[in-house]
Amino acid sequence: MLACSAGPVARSRLAIRVSNMTTLRRAAVAGSWYPATASALEAAVDAHLAGVEQHDVDGDLVALVAPHAGLMYSGPVAAHAYSLLKTRPYDVAILIGPSHFVGFDGIVVCASGAFETPLGAAEIDADVAASLLRLTSAIKVDPRPHAREHSLEMQLPFLRRVLPRTKIVPLLMGYQTAATADALASGIAEAVRGKSALLVASTDLSHYQDAKTAQRLDSVVIDCVARLAPEDLQSALARQPDHACGGGPTVAVMKAAKALGATTSRVLNYADSGDVSGDKSSVVGYMAAAFCRPTA
């Protein structure tokens, strides 16, 4: 299962070499999906965060689910997830999202360098990336599918604002099979065990249904996430893949979170694009959620 459509890789946007010889993945959707200047982006992110009443979650926060549409549409929902990070520092954020434009088996990672953002470059944790590559053959180094992909990039405005010193590991899942989700989950859990790590599953829910139909489809995902039931979610996606575009990454993150001790899940917010556009005839669903383990 590959989310959405496939298309050619924009190789010219793949990467550049900066003065210190670090590979920098260029921002692909700055100026269209979110503001391209630091001041405007800070103001937009801060406004979304300010609109969230602080959630109380018990225990150590292990993982989040957050949407990846344009900031004006999914930002109000994503803010519910990222508001939890204001007082929780992490050394590394493992970002897992779907590949919308390129189909492939397994998972691809940019294993070193940084991702460009208007709020400064998000440095890749090369050590954790190397550990993942050693731990599972399902992960390969290939920056090409990352070139125009927005599913991870749309997490960076919030991450750079609330965790500006946290490194990232950017992982894109191709065909979202159960075997790939299992391999990714086990590799992540082993690679970050004992580290101060945050896992982030990037997903939107159903696409371009009327709001009533979207709520019916989305409720299946929401129920599985609320029950911390990744196997049930994988089964639901196998029956009807259009429940979510990042269902596979969500399954992998839920399984990895459980392996790292998470026992509780909380769905923080749900909305659809019609809440912003006013058009409820064709919407995209968005969810924010958090997974926690008991405090040691």
pLDDT per residue as tens digits for the range 62-85: 999 999 999 999 999 999 999 999
Query: Is 199 domain-assigned?
Result: yes
Which range marks the domain in which residue 237 is found?
43-293
Average per-residue pLDDT for the chain: 92
Instruction: State how many domains the chain has.
Output: 1
Residue with tokens 């010219």: 12
Q: How far apart are CA 179 and CA 185, in angstroms?
A: 10
pLDDT tens sequence across 169-213? 999 999 999 999 999 999 999 999 999 999 999 999 999 999 999
Query: Is 36 domain-assigned?
Result: no
pLDDT score of 22 = 61
Q: How far apart are CA 219 and CA 294, in angstroms?
A: 27
Q: How far apart are CA 144 and CA 108, in angstroms?
A: 9
Instruction: Report the DSSP pairing between strands 139-141 and 122-123.
Output: unpaired
Query: Is 203 domain-assigned?
Result: yes
Q: Are the beta carbons of 109 and 141 closer than 8 angstroms? A: yes
pLDDT tens sequence across 16-28? 443 343 689 999 9
Mean pLDDT to the nearest integer, 98-116: 97
pLDDT score of 88 = 87
Query: Is 31 domain-assigned?
Result: no
CATH of the domain at 179: 3.40.830.10
Q: Would the CA dihedral through 249, 250, 253, 258 be positive or negative? A: negative
Query: Is 211 domain-assigned?
Result: yes
pTM, rounded to two decimals? 0.92
pLDDT at 284 over 90: yes
Query: Is 264 domain-assigned?
Result: yes
Query: Is 20 domain-assigned?
Result: no
Residue with tokens 């993945």: 25
Query: Is 25 domain-assigned?
Result: no
